[in-house]
Amino acid sequence: MFLRFFLLFSCCVALQAHATQTIVIFGDSLSAGYGLPQGAGWVTLLEQRLRREKLDYDVVNASISGETTFGGRNRIEAVLRDHKPAVVVVELGANDGLRGNAVESTRANLVAIVAAAHKSRAKVLVVGMRIPPNYGPVYTRRFEAVFAEVARQQNASLVPFMLEGFAERRELFQADGIHPNEQAQARILDTIYKRLRGLLSPRPR
């Protein structure tokens, strides 16, 4: 009887150890797939890459078009509670910059989001953004720097710029000039995955 219980317990522990983990993408329209055909966004491409590489992760896209860091701060606890992620990709801030929100507020909101994710024992990847110099060079520089500051302060991983390598290529953006088009999504994934891959556990043998 004891042997049967021990074997059952060991099997349960093994199954838990090998259980599929969750990656939460916590972003705005750049991750929600705004203006793209269904399934064409970089988050869907991430799911496909994880399957090809046989990594045991599910992806939950908790991104909302138009989201700001303030909105993200208000809903991060519920997302963490509902999905219990192993990794959180924080892709927020672009709408703060486009609206000219105070950089100090953006920083405080990002810190709160990352801290909440760390408290839930998730690893965090902060995705940086840049904006046009509409509000002047000082604001533009301070805004760009905030993502690295938050990542360094909170000991999180960092993608310095989500649109690295193609931000000036108009043909890779939709008609609004803000949202990358379908052809740019693989580039976004490559940029993010370079940093994300190091946060993922190898597949158990």
Residues constituting the chain: 205
Neighbour order of strands in the sheet with 21-27:
57-61, 21-27, 87-91, 123-127, 157-159
The residues carrying an active-site annotation are 29, 176, 179
Nearest residue to 58 via CA among 78, 27, 87, 92: 87
DSSP strand E in 42-194: where? 57-61, 87-91, 123-127, 157-159
